[in-house]
Amino acid sequence: MAKDTRETVKDTAARGAPAAEGRKLRRGFLVLALLGAILVLGGLVGLVYVGVATLTSMILFGWLLLVGGLVGLLQSVQLRGTSVFWLGVVVAALNIAAGVVVLRHPEGSAEALTMFAALLFLTGGVFRLVGSVVVRGPQFGLTLVQGAFGLLLGILVLAEWPGSSLYVIGTFFSLALLFDGLGLIALGLGGRKLVGYVEDAVTPGNAEVGGTAGDRGPLHKGSLKTEQDEQDQSSN
């Protein structure tokens, strides 16, 4: 009797462990979905207030440069005496200087980055157009459309520069938040559903233990009945 009790306790613990892991996974995926909802909300607010989003993104960019430069400087100090020491110091100093400039002049930095982005759109669009016409590969139409879109976007940004710097970076930043948030929401909800499917599959009485009683066939039912009769006789 004690042996059966110990086996029952072990079996219950073994069945409870996957359930606990499933609850942890569901909570983790729920946190991802909530984080995605926050990012989506931030992206929508940024699309409404693109000017504020532009300044916010520039301030964040400046702090990233500053903190990255300080971390790089500390790493360079640890590597003093090596051949990469001065290279690390120079790169860290440039990052720190760029971060200070961006933080002190976010509007001017936004104008410079907008000009840089417009030039990237122009050059990328021209290269895609020329490459699609010259190569004429299987993705000819898609590459041609991408090149024309990039070229048109670069021309539009440059035509309204520097006024376009007030909304271009903020729009891109808000769209990035929006799509990243949607991706996290989809990942979180899909992960919770997947965990639920796995838990249903490994629940006692399902496929992991040989299926339901109706799926085990008459032979298995007979063996179960014989075992039950033997247990009744032994108890009597």
pLDDT tens digits for range 59-112: 998 999 999 989 988 888 887 777 778 888 888 899 999 899 988 888 888 888
Average pLDDT of the segment spanning 44-49: 88
Q: What distance lies between CA 55 and its chain's CA centroid?
A: 24
Angle at which helices 140-159 and 106-135 cross, to 10° = 150
Angle (CA) 138 140 141, round 5° = 120
pTM of the predicted model as reported, rounded to 2 decimal places = 0.63
Cβ-in-10-Å burial (0-12, 13-18, 19+) of 167 comes to buried
Question: How many helices and strands (H and E) does the chain possess?
Answer: 7, 0
Contact 96/56 with Cβ under 8 angstroms? no
Whether the CB-CB separation of 33 and 189 falls below 8 Å is answered with yes
Length of the chain: 236
Tokens of 214: 């109706």
Q: Which of 93-97, 140-144, 199-203 has the lowest mean pLDDT?
A: 199-203
